[in-house]
Amino acid sequence: MSEEKKMAIDVKNLRKAFGNKIAVNNLSFQVPEGSITGFIGPNGAGKTTTLRILCTLLKPDLGSVKIFDLDTSTSATKIRHQLGFMPDYFGLYDDMEVYEYLDFFAAAYRIAAHRRGKLVDDILTLLDLTAKKHSLINELSRGMQQRLSLGRALVHDPKLLLLDEPASGLDPRARMELMELLRELRRMGKTIFISSHILAELKNLCDFVVIIENGKKIYNGTVSDAATTVEGDLSRIQITSAQDSQTVINILHAWRDDVKATLKGEKVTLVEYHNLQIKSSDIIAHLVKNDIQIEEAAKISANLEDVFMSLTKGGIS
Applying CB under 6 A, which residues contact ligand ATP? Answer: 18, 21, 23, 41, 43-49, 197
CB 219 within 8 A of CB 63: no
Q: How far apart are CB 226 and ligand ATP at their closest, in Å? A: 18
Q: How far apart are CB 313 and ligand ATP at their closest, in Å? A: 15
Q: How far apart are CB 94 and ligand ATP at their closest, in Å? A: 23
Cβ neighbours, 10 Å, residue 249 = 17
Pairing type for strands 36-40 and 191-196 reads parallel
Q: How far apart are CB 41 and ligand ATP at their closest, in Å? A: 5
Spell out the residues 6+ positions from residue 305 whose beta carbon is closer than 8 angstroms to its own.
Answer: 199, 200, 203, 316
**Residue 25 or residue 245: which is nearer to ligand ATP going by CB?**
25
CB 177 within 8 A of CB 166: no
Q: How far apart are CB 101 and ligand ATP at their closest, in Å? A: 24
Q: How far apart are CB 38 and ligand ATP at their closest, in Å? A: 13
**Residue 18 or residue 298: which is nearer to ligand ATP going by CB?**
18
Burial of 108 (0-12, 13-18, 19+ CB in 10 A): exposed
Q: How far apart are CB 18 and ligand ATP at their closest, in Å? A: 3
What are the beta bridge partners of residue 195?
A: 39, 164
Pairing type for strands 294-300 and 234-241 reads antiparallel
Q: What does R_g of the chain's alpha carbons equal in angstroms? A: 24
**Residue 197 or residue 267: which is nearer to ligand ATP going by CB?**
197
**Residue 169 or residue 265: which is nearer to ligand ATP going by CB?**
169
**Residue 124 or residue 210: which is nearer to ligand ATP going by CB?**
210
Rounded to an integer, what distance in angstroms lies between the CA atom of residue 118 and that of residue 124?
A: 10
Q: How far apart are CB 300 and ligand ATP at their closest, in Å? A: 29
Q: Compute the Cα dihedral for 71, 73, 75, 78 and give only its sign.
A: positive
Q: How far apart are CB 53 and ligand ATP at their closest, in Å? A: 10
**Residue 90 or residue 104: which is nearer to ligand ATP going by CB?**
90
CB 172 within 8 A of CB 199: no
**Residue 28 or residue 290: which is nearer to ligand ATP going by CB?**
28
**Residue 146 or residue 269: which is nearer to ligand ATP going by CB?**
146
**Residue 52 or residue 147: which is nearer to ligand ATP going by CB?**
52
